[in-house]
Amino acid sequence: MKLFVKSALCVAVAFAANASAAIQPLAADQFSVGGEVTAGGSYESEKGTINTGATEFTLQNSYKNGGIVGYVEVDLKAKWGQEFDTEKVNGQDVAIAKGLDRDIVSDLDKAWIGYDFGVGTLSYGVENDTALDKVDGKGDLSIEFGKNAPDADDKFNVVKFEGSTQGVVYGISYFEAEDLKDTATEVKRNDRGYNGYVGYEAGVVNVYVGHEKQRNDFKTTTVTGNADLGVAKVGVNYWTSKKDNKSETKTVKGYYVSAAKSFGELTVAAGYGDPSNKAKNDKFFNVGAEYALSANTYVKADFKFGKETVDTDKKRQDVYLKAGYTF
């Protein structure tokens, strides 16, 4: 036992010494600044409105000093479009127009710091992607309207570890959400949860399995993957989610399949989704394209065809357009 403790102590001291030696005084070359400027938006035929949600300026700042790594991302987004409230109509949630929403919104999208141990990076983020975000959409090769599991996405106080070794990728995270009010007790509480994934990346074929559990009795499991068939790339997202309410348990299963093909600077992609196999009006098809005008400039468009959520006999066509410059 004493030998084990001494060996462990020696390893810890050696690691700390090497880590300290690799860390240098603060310098400008430890920072990397980039970002993106975009203009665009979407048209939703079900609501009959146009919005400019794709018009924004994003600034990204990465930091690396030895094993210490960090990242900060801020957004400035121009919002112009119809504002809606949700009301019950015939037992279904319906969007009711309130008026025109015109605003410019700034947001601290991500801010985290961590340490790279070689086999993985342990980080803490005031706001950051959760681990499952990295793989839940790996089967979505579409331009914009693809679907994936309804997991946590960006959250607060995210503690995350993820890495890879010999083709095996893995990640796990704990996270907290914004304050939620319990409708029964009218008491606000912080919702929280955890998620993680494991996968294998062989280059030609990549497969991932992930799971998430939240304290509000929500959990989801997803399997995603993609493959390069030579003539085209194909991908699949599949998920099953379960939400336990006091009165009932709701289980939803869904999938999205997609394919993409590049012709030089032009990439064409299409997909088909059934986000909930219990609701026929959820099914949709989308097709789009992206064209690289230069190494830093692009234009893209995506078109979605399906049925409206209220009137299942009425078709809907959504349009997404965007142009961007990265730096």
Residue 325: which residues within 8 A CB-CB, separation 6 or more? 36, 37, 38, 296, 297
Q: pLDDT value at position 88?
A: 63
Query: Distance (Å, rounded) from C-alpha 115 to C-alpha 70?
Result: 8
Q: How far is CA 203 from CA 33, 119, 266, 284, 324, in A?
A: 29, 19, 22, 29, 28
Residue 78: which residues within 8 A CB-CB, separation 6 or more? 52, 55, 56, 103, 104
Spans of all domains in the chain: 31-326
What is the widest separation between alpha-carbon atoms in the chain? 75
Q: pLDDT value at position 179?
A: 54
Query: Distance (Å, rounded) from C-alpha 182 to C-alpha 187?
Result: 5
Query: Distance (Å, rounded) from C-alpha 69 to C-alpha 112?
Result: 9
- Nearest partner of 110 among 78, 53, 71, judged by Cα: 71
User: What is the number of alpha carbons within 13 Å of residue 195 lying toward its C-beta?
Assistant: 29
pLDDT tens track of the chain, all 327 residues? 454 444 444 444 444 455 555 789 999 999 999 999 999 988 887 666 677 678 899 999 999 999 999 999 999 988 776 666 666 666 655 666 565 566 788 889 999 999 999 999 999 999 999 999 999 999 999 999 999 998 867 899 999 999 999 999 999 999 998 655 454 545 555 679 999 999 999 999 999 999 999 987 889 999 999 999 999 999 999 999 998 876 667 888 999 999 999 999 999 999 999 887 655 557 899 999 999 999 999 999 999 998 766 555 678 889 999 999 999
Q: pLDDT value at position 303?
A: 97
Backbone angles phi, psi at 18, to 5 degrees: -65, -40
> Count of residues for the chain?
327
Q: How far is CA 156 from CA 76, 85, 101, 193, 295, in A?
A: 19, 26, 27, 11, 34
Residue 138 has a CB neighbour count (10 Å cut-off) of 23
Query: Distance (Å, rounded) from C-alpha 275 to C-alpha 238?
Result: 9
Backbone angles phi, psi at 276, to 5 degrees: -145, 110
31-326 CATH: 2.40.160.10
Residue 166: which residues within 8 A CB-CB, separation 6 or more? none
The dihedral formed by the CA atoms of 147, 71, 117 and 201, expressed in degrees to the nearest 10:
30
Q: pLDDT value at position 87?
A: 67
Query: Distance (Å, rounded) from C-alpha 58 to C-alpha 77?
Result: 8
Give the pair of three-digit tokens for residue 77: 């987004």
